[in-house]
Structure 1
Amino acid sequence: MDIEKPAITPYLTTRKLNPENQETPIHFLRQTITPTEYFFIRNHFEYPLQTQEAFFLPIAGEAMRPTIFTYQDIIRMPSKHLTLPLECSGNNRAFFDPKVYGEQWEDGAISQGLWKGVPLKDLLALIGLKSTSLEVVFEAYDYGKRKDLAGKFHFTRSLPIQKALHPDTLIAYELNGKPIPYKHGYPLRLIVPQWYAMASIKWLKRIVVIDHHFKGPYQEIDYNYFPYKDNDLGKTPVTQINVNSVIQQPVNRSILDNGKHIIEGFAWTGTGVIIEVEVTTDGGESWHKANLVQEQSPLYSWTFWKYVWKVPNKGEYLIMSRAKDSFGHIQPFKAMWNRKGYGYNGVYTVKVKVE
């Protein structure tokens, strides 16, 4: 009797179960669109209990016509599709030196989806913004306790009015052609292109337009760069994604045979588009341009790249990749250290041995 060979598939990498935090197996996926079952999961709290209220989205505050939009109202409005990555701002936190506290994400807290939704600016146009509007606050249904403050808090953040009115800031209701899965924010979530994923709030409960700066703990305490360990000097908010790249293959500490190998991965940025990726196989002494898979890097989307490496001799090699975007930003050798471990984008490094 013939026995069918089992299917070999990658798995998510678990960082925590409660709240659930899982990494995408990025080294083994070559799709432009990350399959939904492999999308990374980042939660601050347990999953919220959903009721019928989740299908109503109130928008109030500095508005001439405060309105409660229904889910049906939103999905009937003119929509758009965007292909873009969501990256946790703590992605690669485990690679900081000196080490920092927090979820020890490696390189899989990033995934790319095809999102469908309604531009937020269209909803804000319907309610009529007052001239005093400064920020737009988004409150999620998920909530819980913090270790540093008394009481319970909903996950709540704001966007400056200019970013809220960007034509590609969406109230999304589909991921990869289907309703957004519950774990990723069903029925409605915010999608903010080119910003780290803490801005793309899941399980939207309500939106409030305000005439002042929002001071919630997920705005003022978390998601800020603190350059110093013992004081808050130089504090700046985490916003745009830093230019970055990853080597998908070979993986770190691989043992390779002599000959020819393909070094491959992808690159992404929060400003402009990727225009160049360079690779070094000698620890940075010489750099070589990789081939970008796309002739023109699409706006928002990550860009795949490849480099053919002809191994000269047996031995140990230090391989690195660095990306450059159209605004001139280049991956640095060393990421900007900050005590909460956000925005890591040091040159991607793998060590291999050729036998």
Structure 2
Amino acid sequence: MSEDDLTAEAAYESARARQWRERLRGPVSRRTLFRLSAAGAAGAGLGAAGGLARPADAAGPIVKPLPPELFVAHGTNAETRWEAMRDQGYLTPADRFFVRNHIATPLIDARTWRLRLWGTGLHGSPTEERPVEFTYEDLLGMRAETITAFIECTGNGRGFFTSQQGQQVSGTPWKLGAIGVARWRGVRLASVLERAGLTRHAVDVLPRGLDAEYVDGGVNMGRVRRPLPVAKALKDVLLAYEMNGAPLPPDHGHPVRLVVPSWVGIASIKWLGDIQVSDQPLFSPWNTRYYRLFGDAYPPEGSAPLTRMNVKSAFELPWDATFPGGRVHVLHGRSWSGNGRIRQVSVSTDGGATWHRAKLHGPGHARAWVRWQYPWRTPSAPGSHVLMARATDETGATQPATVPHNTLGYLFGAVVRHPVTIS
């Protein structure tokens, strides 16, 4: 199986299930997956690398300011307001980049931080207690690479399952502001794995963050961690230490985070502490209990673990924006896809009755977004209207009118109905 095949959900799950069946000599049920991920949680609190400097009584789960004109606060998370991106250029400034935290942002001293690699997929099978270690200075001394890529929460758009489709889902009710594009600089994960002694038998890597252990419904899930197939790890994953030309801010992963281009945001582990490298498939709650599609349209164990993000579009406008009537107003927006470049964006100003081609402009990176604009002559009469934007990527994938329901509200990729008022 090629490395590209292993970046597709179905192929990824098939390969992992086959490997695991060969070991267990039996089928892989959802109960088995949950048991395996729970067993992995037992040791998930061990080996915290690097000096955690955040006081236990620190106020608030997010360090940076969250002015209401820039963010919508969602508990431990913060959603970027799309109107705050107007006139901001191609990249999302760090002070406007969304925040997705399970608990609270840890403050970590880069001078004492260590990245620890261990497991049966490395020569000599170093253990968690005696790993291969890299310091921050070690990474700075290695060949650097820069990529421009989006990071997007898998639940981005979740609120529209309820507001547009009338379906109940659980989780943070994001609109479309759980995405940001940055220029990331760091070291290829492939280079670090090679130096650590990657073997040809390695199957999965399991990066783990240094934030506090996550408890859900009274069950300790351990530190946030999400397996990646070695094929993806070697392809384009970055150990990033800079964001938009500056050291990573605390809320975005200081001192080092993963950037896994085009994939679900949970794969881009922040505050990276250690990486298990295994010659057998690895599991965690974040690829068994979460980040699969569950519901009536899916098998009991859920879909395959989610990988690539889907196609979306957003207007750089406030929700319920107001326009004066009888004037030309240039609508601005951005579209993106985990499949690659956006080839076309169409805009409707009458709730989907008619569609018109928007003009794409500026950069259109394959792993980021493209900006677009469309001139709209607003109606003379006051009233309510619905704006819609629909993108098509280079694979031909186009945003649909609706998407199938899933109980955790992942991957809402339907065209969003953006209400506006003519005054």
Partner of 2:71: 12
Q: Which one of 15, 20, 23 corresponds to residue 79 of structure 2?
A: 23
Partner of 1:3: none
Separation in 1 of the partners of 2:318 and 2:99? 25
Q: Is the 8 A contact 2:360 2:373 kept in 1?
A: yes
Shift of 1:86: 1.1
Provide closer, same or farther for how the CA distance between residues 275 and 145 of structure 1 changes in structure 2, counting only shifts above 3 A: closer
Q: Deviations over 1:143-178 (max 9, x none)?
A: 324224633511111111111001x31001011111
Shift of 1:88: 0.8
Q: Which one of 172, 193, 205 corresponds to residue 273 of structure 2?
A: 205
Q: Is the 8 A contact 2:114 2:134 kept in 1?
A: yes
- The alignment's C-alpha RMSD in Å is 2.2
SS at match of 2:227: strand
Shift of 1:250: 6.5
Shift of 1:317: 2.6
Q: What does residue range 69-218 of structure 1 map to in structure 2 within 5 Å? A: 69-96=134-161, 97=165, 98-148=167-217, 150-151=219-220, 153-166=222-235, 168-218=236-286
SS at match of 2:213: strand
Alignment of 1:310 onto 2:377: yes
Shift of 1:46: 2.4
Q: For residue 13 of structure 1, what is the amino acid of its counterpart? A: V
- TM-score relative to the length of structure 1: 0.90
Separation in 2 of the partners of 1:302 and 1:48? 29
Alignment of 1:45 onto 2:103: yes
Q: Deviations over 1:204-259 (max 9, x none)?
A: 11011112222211121011111428972552222111011011236435353222
Alignment of 1:322 onto 2:390: yes
5+ residue gaps in structure 2?
A: 1-66, 127-131
Provide closer, same or farther for how the CA distance between residues 310 and 132 of structure 1 changes in structure 2, counting only shifts above 3 A: same
Shift of 1:121: 0.6
Q: For residue 331 of structure 2, what is the amino acid of its counterpart? A: I
Provide closer, same or farther for how the CA distance between residues 351 and 94 of structure 1 changes in structure 2, counting only shifts above 3 A: same
Provide closer, same or farther for how the CA distance between residues 150 and 234 of structure 1 changes in structure 2, counting only shifts above 3 A: closer
Q: Is the 8 A contact 1:250 1:263 kept in 2?
A: no
Q: Is the 8 A contact 1:57 1:69 kept in 2?
A: yes
Partner of 2:400: 332
Q: Is the 8 A contact 1:227 1:235 kept in 2?
A: no
Partner of 1:59: 117
Q: For residue 309 of structure 2, what is the amino acid of its counterpart? A: I
Q: Is the 8 A contact 2:82 2:314 kept in 1?
A: no
Shift of 1:346: 1.0
Higher helix share: 2
Separation in 2 of the partners of 1:23 and 1:247? 15
Shift of 1:287: 1.3
Shift of 1:354: 2.7
Q: Deviations over 1:283-332 (max 9, x none)?
A: 222211100013x6222121110111223552433221100000111011
Shift of 1:104: 1.4
Separation in 1 of the partners of 2:314 and 2:283? 34
Separation in 2 of the partners of 1:135 and 1:149? 29
Following TM superposition, where does structure 1 have runs of at least 4 consecutive aligned residues deviating by more than 6 angstroms? none
Q: Is the 8 A contact 2:158 2:409 kept in 1?
A: yes
Q: Is the 8 A contact 1:95 1:106 kept in 2?
A: yes
Q: Which one of 288, 309, 315 corresponds to residue 356 of structure 2?
A: 288
SS at match of 1:318: strand
Identical positions, percent: 35
